[in-house]
Amino acid sequence: MFKNKKFFVLGMGKSGISVAKLLAPDNEVLITDVKCDDFKLIKELEDLGISVVITKEQEEVFNSSFDYVVKNPGVKLDHPVVLRANRLGIPVITELEVGYLYLPKVKIIGITGSNGKTTTTTLIYEMLKAASLPVHLAGNIGIPLCGIIDKIKEGDILVIEVSSHQLVNLDKFKADVSVLTNLSEVHLDHFGTYENYKKTKMRIFNNQTDKDLAILNGGDSEVVRLTKNIPSRKLYFSSVSSEADIYFNGSGIVYKGEEIVNVSDIRVKGVHNYENIMAAILVSFEFGVSLDAIKEVLNNFAGVPHRLEFVTKIHGRDFYNDSKATNVKSTITALNSFDNDVILILGGLDRGHSFDGLKPYLKHVTNIVCYGETKNRIKDFAEKCNIDVTVTDNLEEATKAAYNISSEGDTILLSPACASWDQFKSFEERGDEFKNIVESFK
């Protein structure tokens, strides 16, 4: 816990607000953002004794009198305040690190990875909850840890989704169980190189000892290689190797030589989801959850919003919202889940990454509809692949175009392979917009 310290909180998102409120009673707190039109929120923070500064020149209100900078996960590492803090030797930390230091004695399950974090986190939480364990959900899933500190008691279990942006500034944080779902080349605009990104992901194992547990994707060669020398006890899940502790054999999930879950028991579809489920099962078994409780969750779990989410069927066309697919690997995962004709909607923020990785997975794609900053690069890619392509300006035009060229029996899939920030505040907003457009077709 912190007392009589001076904090500079960079960013007024959910995590920034929650950490400022937690710190305010015993510390001096200034919170800043480049824009905030919520005057009610500003007054609420000021009434708590928090200084609020809205300015594009945030570095001008930052000086050496501050003891800590708390960085919102979305703030880049080359932000002027972060660079200046580094030069001055002022620690740059995250809301998650602050929250961790306020916790009583609890068990922590930390989940990270390039894809599948939220689904795996949600599954673990639901399985532990089904066993009536005292469990809380927090982290990158949209629930800041600092915002639930007052609900957590000694002996409780925390299931925390941890993003790479949170990991980069963690120091004391330690998970009793760490889960690494997979690794792929994402967020290179933030980390510069894939090597930097992978090093950051490995921080989920920081501070673990041989008394702690790592749950790892045994079918991901980079995960296996990079975790070879960590001190933690290791358990592996895999959709490609029967040598893992738990594996998918094509029709079900096998543990200790026995098929414990058949695909007919599982509501969500796709091998990627079976991998997420296997990771969650390994964690649940560690906490004594029964197979019956696990199966109950799997029978009812329909996935999380914006992750290959079934929207509706209209005139024989199935609509799927996979707005969370902000990189090529996620879109590949989605495409592998279908064996009927697919009209694929791609596009969004241009981070400069190549779309060539999609080419081997387009066998069921009859048309590509593209929009946003990347539309012209996607058009060139589609033409190289000899796939019919329709170019539009925005998601509404793209969705309408996809519907107009579709036939009965087709799947219309929004799996953009791009971030949303060229036209939307978040992938959630993009996914909600897609669902609203689809509903208007009824």
SS (H, E, C) the chain: CCCCCEEEEECCCHHHHHHHHHHHHHCEEEEEECCCCCHHHHHHHHHCCCEEEECCCHHHHCCCCCCEEEECCCCCCCCHHHHHHHHHCCCEECHHHHHHHCCCCCEEEEEECCCCHHHHHHHHHHHHHHCCCCEEEEECCCECHHHCHHHCCCCCEEEEECCHHHHCCCCCCCCCEEEECCCCCCCHHHHCCHHHHHHHHHHHHCCCCCCCEEEEECCCHHHHHHCCCCCCEEEEEECCCCCCCEEECCCEEEECCEEEEEHHHCCCCCHHHHHHHHHHHHHHHHCCCCHHHHHHHHHHCCCCCCCCEEEEEECCEEEEECCCCCCHHHHHHHHCCCCCCEEEEEECCCCCCCCHHHHHHCCCEEEEEEECCCHHHHHHHHHHCCCEEEECCCHHHHHHHHHHHCCCCCEEEECCCCCCCCCCCCHHHHHHHHHHHHHCCC
Q: What is the mean pLDDT of residues 243-267?
A: 97
Whether 187 shows a pLDDT value over 80: the answer reads no
- pLDDT on residue 57: 96
Q: What does the mean pLDDT of the chain come to? A: 96
- pLDDT on residue 320: 97
- pLDDT on residue 189: 75
Q: Residue 300 — very low, low, confident or very high, per pLDDT cuts 50/70/90?
A: very high
- pLDDT on residue 74: 80
Q: Residue 8 — very low, low, confident or very high, per pLDDT cuts 50/70/90?
A: very high
**CATH number of the domain at 6-93, please?**
3.40.50.720
Model's pTM, two decimal places? 0.88
Q: pLDDT by residue (tens digit) across 318-333?
A: 999 999 999 999 999 9
Q: What is the mean pLDDT of residues 37-59?
A: 97
Output the known binding site. Answer: 113-119
- pLDDT on residue 41: 97
Q: What is the mean pLDDT of residues 202-216?
A: 98
**Please, what CATH class does the domain formed by 97-300 belong to?**
alpha beta
Lowest mean pLDDT among 74-78, 203-207, 284-288, 393-397: 74-78
- pLDDT on residue 188: 76
Output the known binding site for ATP. Answer: 113-119
Whether 229 shows a pLDDT value over 80: the answer reads yes
Whether 73 shows a pLDDT value over 90: the answer reads no
- pLDDT on residue 293: 98
Domain boundaries, the chain: 6-93, 97-300, 309-439
Task: Give the domain 309-439 fold.
Answer: Protein-Tyrosine Phosphatase; Chain A (3.90.190)
